[in-house]
Amino acid sequence: MRKIRSKDELAMKLIVHIVLLALVVMTLLPMALTIVVSLTDQSSIAANGYSLFPEKWSLDAYKYLLDSPNQLLRGYKNSIIITAFGTVFDVIFIILMAYPLSRPDFAYKKFFSVFVFMPMLFGGGAVASYLMIVKYLGWKNSFLAVTVPGFCASFEIFMMRVLFQDIPMSLQEAAKIDGASDGKTLVSIVLPLSKPAIATITLRNVLSYWNNTSGPQLYLTDYKKHPITLLLNNIVKIVEEMKQALLDPSMAGGNIIKAEDIPSDTITYALMVVATVPLLLVFTRLQKYFAKGMTAGGVKG
């Protein structure tokens, strides 16, 4: 009986490992293809299509991007400013909102819960948001227009509140008996025990602000304030226009160029790599906390 059970367990483990391996391959294959295509010669793609093993390698796409390093660095700087400012203040406000809502002794808990979670059901719409930000607040061409509207998302407050509730109330009550204020309890007790929750919210905000293109397209008409994602989208459009017109718009003389000399396909994938590398660095730092935070929230909910 034990041998049969051992064989069944071995077979089940084998099936699980095969399924997990297949999922890993499915996840990594698009990433590998993106990197390989970005390093493939444009003529090789035109002749043979996309392949993980191209006939000819080339750095033309990255050289094309580095022709204007100042523009690329400015895009990175704008993205870092938007992401850092939005993430830091958003996480702070979420903590300050979620902590009292997680306390069972908060007198106005029901009222503020309804107030906070109502936007999950109803939204003002894009037109109302645009009028409020541009006409009444005057944030046109300001980083505030692409950061402040994302503060205190209801779902993130809900997630943080649930994760705060995992902390035993006995610890907070003991700190209160010792004379600690609510602020002192939050800083000394709650936050050190909430690293997975904070990392989860932080990573979500970093991804959201970094990949946001709709907000900058609406509110940042000054190209000097464009983040890297919007800048890369503009480069793709310019490359396509160059390929169609067979003209280089960046040169006043309008020099004729060959369509096959423009790495239109490879540059698109190179832009993906350039825009994704910073996110990979952040994700690798916060991955373990992110997994714990998502698991805790799912169990508690």
- Would you say residue 20 lies in a domain? yes
Residue 141 Rama label (left phi>0; alpha psi -120 to 50; beta): left
Is 236 found in the same domain as 132?
yes
Is 119 found in the same domain as 13?
no
95 or 243, which is more confident: 95
Q: Is the pLDDT of residue 9 over 60?
A: yes
Q: What's the structural domain count of the chain?
A: 2
The structure tokens 């006995």 sit at 170
- pLDDT tens-place string over residues 79-88: 999 999 999 9
Residue range 190-207: average pLDDT? 85
> What is the value of pTM for the model shown?
0.75
pLDDT tier at 283, thresholds 50, 70, 90: confident
Task: Please report the pLDDT score of residue 82 as a whole number.
Answer: 93
- Would you say residue 111 lies in a domain? yes
- Would you say residue 45 lies in a domain? no
Q: Is the pLDDT of residue 153 over 50?
A: yes
- Would you say residue 49 lies in a domain? no
pLDDT tier at 203, thresholds 50, 70, 90: confident
Please report, rounded to a whole number, the percentage of residues in the chain having pLDDT higher than 90: 9
Complete DSSP assignment for the chain: -HHHHHHHHHHHHHHHHHHHHHHHHHHHHHHHHHHHHHTB-HHHHHHH-S-SS-SSB--HHHHHHTTSHHHHHHHHHHHHHHHHHHHHHHHHHHHHHHHHHH-TT-TTHHHHHHHHHGGGT----HHHHHIIIIIIS--TT-THHHHGGGTT-HHHHHHHHHHHTTS-HHHHHHHHHTT--HHHHIIIIITGGGHHHHHHHHHHHHHHHHH--HHHHHH--SGGG--HHHHHHHHHHHHHHHHHHTB-TTSTT--B--GGGS-HHHHHHHHHHHHHHHHHHHHHHHHHHHHHHHHHHHHH-
Q: Is the pLDDT of residue 301 over 50?
A: no
Is 216 found in the same domain as 138?
yes
Is 86 found in the same domain as 21?
no
Of 111-120, 232-241, 260-269, 285-294, where does mean pLDDT reach its minimum? 285-294
The structure tokens 């293109």 sit at 213
Cα separation, 120 vs 153, whole angstroms: 9
Task: Please report the pLDDT score of residue 293 as a whole number.
Answer: 53
Is 125 found in the same domain as 10?
no
Mean per-residue pLDDT of the chain: 79
Domain span holding position 12: 2-38
Most confident listed range (113-127, 188-202, 238-252): 188-202
pLDDT tier at 296, thresholds 50, 70, 90: low
Domain holding 288: CATH number?
Answer: 1.10.3720.10
Is 166 found in the same domain as 67?
yes
Cα separation, 263 vs 267, whole angstroms: 6
Residue range 19-36: average pLDDT? 87
Is 172 found in the same domain as 31?
no
Q: 270: Cβ–Cβ under 8 A, 6 or more apart, which residues?
A: 38, 61, 62, 64, 65, 263
- Would you say residue 47 lies in a domain? no
